[in-house]
Structure 1
Amino acid sequence: MESGQTWRQFAIAGTANFVLLSIGYTMGWTAPINVKLQSDEESPLDRPVTADEEAWIGSLLTIGAILGALIVGFPAARIGRKWTMLSTCLPLFVGWVLLAAATDVAMLYAGRICTGITMGMGFTIVPLYSAEIATDEYRGALGSLLQVLLTMGFLLVYSVGPFVSYSAVVYVGIAVAAVYAIAIYFMPESPFYYLDKGDKASAASCLATIRGQSEEGVMNELDRMAADVAASKEKTAKITDLFRGNNFKAFYISMALVAFQQFSGINAVLFYLTNIFEAAGSSLDASISTIIIGSVQLGASCVTPLAADRLGRKVLLMISSAGTAVGLFLLGTYFVIADNENPVAEQIGWLPVVALIIFIITFCWGLGSLPWPIMAELFPIEVKVVAMPMVNAFCWILAFLITRYFSALAAATGMGVTFFIFGACCVVSFFFTLFLIPETKGKSFHEIQELLSGGSGNTSSKTPTDKY
């Protein structure tokens, strides 16, 4: 049997996921920029933004993401995964230009919506592409690269933002987007796209490039791919198909995963990270605390690609749900003490940093990284382009509601109660994962469908060459 080069699929998936670095930079942009928008010297506007305007600047990113998630399915099927990934750069560049030229709040709103469109497109097309180019034994690792690149983007903006001008922060964002646009141009297409178009020769060439083998060496795997594509083309997926059989089980699991991800409060925490530290009166400088959190986030994200195909998705999700609950309850406890003006709060000014470190580490291990690759695994090929945009749109609707009304909720109930609510959602996530989510580690797409049907999805009787 001809040996391949495993590193190639990691390099290619890493390049595809580079757009997530740009998205992470965009998502974390509000943490340092909110402070600048309150300053007469640093703001590009002629006045400080109001609290309501600040909330809209944070949350409108997710409105764009809803639009991006809904429109990405059509080009992915028509022009291919590669060119769809390249097309994500267009709204990103437009958004950054609007933010660079902003002289009023309306331009900031428009810029955030445009960059949000890229976010919605990227979170849908990149996991799909990564799952399609991966071998079974590395699909979890390749899918988890999304979180690694995302957190790199957060750390970049946390490290740059507080120390340079508003304009410089935007120019770095433009530069990152330009690097991605150039890199993606040289990427191979997904072999599934070529097979779907009936172009087996191009699919063979593409797969050979990804595997680092000759076209003859990938022919067995290509034949299995072609059989799956042929089976999927016998069915035309419609929205109503999502509510039948295995598809419905995959659908409600995917919807629940993104709901738990968002109701952990992650986007509220990341968008308003600097504000949280300032509200807590932490003994550490807010900008330094934010960089610490970004560094921890990146380090924790690097664990999942190593563990997803060893420990399995289910175990990591349970650890993640339990850990995020602990971190949120600790954070909530601190704010309850501080809001009651208890003198103990001054002695434990370090607690918000510790609580957020626990929250961020465990979030990155599961809730942050695994919903996307699991989603790409659970749905049959013909259903993915219908289901994934819908699930992603639902995800960003929840993200909008949480980021838009986080400040209002915290003002009405107190920061402490708000974090307790998020923590309770993470407890529910733990038990949902324990009882309802199947383990997909090392299983082929066909075996996963058997598992959803109530079978064992057993791979023990199969050799590696039998698996796809």
Structure 2
Amino acid sequence: MKVPTTTRFSFRLSNKNHEWPQISVIIIVSLGSLTAAVLFAWPSPSIPQLIFNGSETVNISLEEASYFAVIPPLGSLLASPLVAILMDSIGRKKTILFMSVSHIIAWLLIFFSKCLWVFYVSRIFSGISDAVLFGVIPAYIGEITASHVRGTWGNLNTIFLYIGQFLINVVGAYFSVKTTALFFFIFPITHIILFTFAPESPYYLLVNNKNKEAEESLKLLRWNNNVQEELDLITKAVQRQISESSTLKDLIIIPTNRKALFISIGLRMSQILSGLPAFAVYTQYIFSLSAANLPASTCAIVYTGLFFLMSSTCSFFVDKLSRKWLMIFSSFGCTIALLIESMYFYFILQTNVHLTSYNWIPLAGMSLYIIMFSLGLGILPNLLLSELFSASIKGKATSVVNIIFFLCIIIVPKLFQLLSSNFGMYVPFFVFFCCTCCSTLFSYYFVPETKGKTLEEIQQMLTKKNKIHVAQNSTN
């Protein structure tokens, strides 16, 4: 006879809320993010080996390797609508587990690959998992955490992305493509085993009228036997949200949804158009053209390592500072760093000015970019996207946002390659500089302040602002 969940856990749980269960679940779910980042940045150390290393079973050209950056977001683009359906039908938890299955397939294909097309298929599975990474994980983290935990620890998912970029550059610099694949194969296996024991989102369970399961989930997440008060608040919020129409058309028609959609798209575009995906894929390539004293692989390790350290440090201060002003400051700081890079490469490629004594500038400029990006652009969009949409419309909203997001990821690395190959490295850096200028203005005028607010309070804030806007228009 199956023992009720309440009986199994009631004697262990306390009578007050605890943070550590929520933090533990965030860490476990972020293991999937780490593997996704490793696969996305995999071309950085792997392309040089596949092009120049005769010991590898597959030798490819630079043109063939350039599609490693294009294929994953294409797979993500096609998978996003399916992922949106899955997160609302089978649940957040099972959809996230599906992500790790895609990771396992991707690593197996890399390990056994003996031709270029197998690598391409592997990149497709990597892209499918990214649709879950950016569409489901932020929603799941937002729904399982209390507001103060979400503000401090909700960025851990983003930190693991930068850990993944760092690890692939370190491991890939010293081991072959096949050995690297075998090493990272362990991570999705571990993720599946651990995440199997994680609770489902109480929001999802309430939306699907699984009230008892939602209560048990909340008890585990708070490690508290008495969660009735919070459960009642969440139930009321969910009832209000599911009473609203939740079609794709409602994303545009309903003012609150429209505003949240506009902000979400702007945040994602700000993040990607700053050049991040291009820098992740072509890290070693950029430093190989900078005439720096350090090897390109060493510069890439320093770059990604600093990225990880800065994002880890900054994430714990997000809940103590204004999120809106962090976005503004971060975007403005990135404009300065990108302008420095653009000017350096312009003088190197287009003038006779000797900058031998200043070949430290590219690494310094990219380090400044990392610091500024980590303060806001690198960590806040994921956090804000978990907060802006109601539970009833979240799946469809993230699907639309991700389609635009992945289109940008397709465009940016290819744009970087085309501009740098045909006009010089300074041109893409200048384009990214212009984009971050626009991001600064967008953050100032449109990004809301969500610090310390519950998901329901954020929804009420967006609704209130829309009502004020309508009232002002009526008066005018």
Q: Which of the five TM-score ranges fits, normalised by the shorter chain?
A: over 0.9
Aligned 1:301-380 pairs, distance under 5 A: 301-340=311-350, 342-380=352-390
Q: Which of 25, 29, 54 matches 2:38?
A: 25
1 CA distance for matches of 2:46 and 2:312?
27
**One-letter identity of the residue aligned with 1:199:** K
Measured against aligned partners, the alpha-carbon deviations of 1:96-120 in whole angstroms (never above 9, x if no partner) come to 1222222222111111111111112
| Residue equivalent to 1:282 | 292
Instruction: Provide closer, same or farther for how the CA distance between residues 142 and 72 of structure 1 changes in structure 2, counting only shifts above 3 A.
Output: farther
Equivalent residues of 2:335, 2:437 under 8 A apart: yes
Shift of 1:75: 1.6
Q: Which of 147, 162, 171 matches 2:182?
A: 171
**One-letter identity of the residue aligned with 2:146:** T
**One-letter identity of the residue aligned with 2:109:** L
Shift of 1:382: 1.0
Equivalent residues of 2:242, 2:391 under 8 A apart: no
1 CA distance for matches of 2:55 and 2:123?
19
Q: Does 1:436 align with 2:449?
A: no
Shift of 1:304: 3.4
Shift of 1:77: 1.3
Q: Does 1:223 align with 2:232?
A: yes
Instruction: Provide closer, same or farther for how the CA distance between residues 15 and 228 of structure 1 changes in structure 2, counting only shifts above 3 A.
Output: same
1 CA distance for matches of 2:395 and 2:246?
9
Shift of 1:434: 0.8
Measured against aligned partners, the alpha-carbon deviations of 1:289-326 in whole angstroms (never above 9, x if no partner) come to 11111110111111333122110221211121012111
SS in 2 for 1:237: coil
Equivalent residues of 1:450, 1:456 under 8 A apart: no
Equivalent residues of 1:95, 1:111 under 8 A apart: yes
Shift of 1:341: 5.3
Q: Does 1:141 align with 2:145?
A: no
So what's the TM-score if we normalise by structure 2? 0.92
Instruction: Provide closer, same or farther for how the CA distance between residues 456 and 302 of structure 1 changes in structure 2, counting only shifts above 3 A.
Output: farther
| Residue equivalent to 1:235 | 244
Aligned 1:172-211 pairs, distance under 5 A: 172-211=183-222
| Residue equivalent to 2:265 | 255
| Residue equivalent to 1:461 | none
**One-letter identity of the residue aligned with 2:88:** A
Equivalent residues of 1:376, 1:388 under 8 A apart: no
Q: Does 1:51 align with 2:49?
A: no
| Residue equivalent to 2:398 | 388
Q: Which of 5, 17, 27 matches 1:4?
A: 17
1 CA distance for matches of 2:367 and 2:53?
32
SS in 2 for 1:239: coil
More off after superposition, 26-35 vs 300-309: 300-309
Shift of 1:343: 4.6
Shift of 1:451: 2.2
- Root-mean-square deviation (Å): 1.7
Equivalent residues of 2:46, 2:172 under 8 A apart: yes
Shift of 1:68: 3.3
More off after superposition, 249-258 vs 233-242: 233-242
Equivalent residues of 2:143, 2:203 under 8 A apart: yes
Equivalent residues of 2:333, 2:369 under 8 A apart: yes
1 CA distance for matches of 2:15 and 2:53?
65
**One-letter identity of the residue aligned with 1:257:** L
| Residue equivalent to 1:464 | none
More off after superposition, 86-95 vs 262-271: 86-95
**One-letter identity of the residue aligned with 1:36:** Q
Shift of 1:364: 2.1
SS in 1 for 2:249: helix
SS in 2 for 1:284: coil
Identity of aligned residues (%): 27
Shift of 1:192: 1.2
2 CA distance for matches of 1:237 and 1:44?
51
SS in 2 for 1:344: coil
Measured against aligned partners, the alpha-carbon deviations of 1:375-416 in whole angstroms (never above 9, x if no partner) come to 221112211111012101210111011112321111222111
**One-letter identity of the residue aligned with 2:306:** V
Q: Which of 415, 433, 436 matches 1:423?
A: 433
Shift of 1:63: 1.2
Structure 1 outlier segments of 4+, above 6 Å: none
Instruction: Provide closer, same or farther for how the CA distance between residues 305 and 452 of structure 1 changes in structure 2, counting only shifts above 3 A.
Output: same
Instruction: Provide closer, same or farther for how the CA distance between residues 455 and 408 of structure 1 changes in structure 2, counting only shifts above 3 A.
Output: closer
Shift of 1:444: 2.1
Measured against aligned partners, the alpha-carbon deviations of 1:141-197 in whole angstroms (never above 9, x if no partner) come to 333112111111111111110111111111122111111111111111111122122
Q: Which of 140, 151, 155 matches 1:129?
A: 140
Shift of 1:225: 0.9
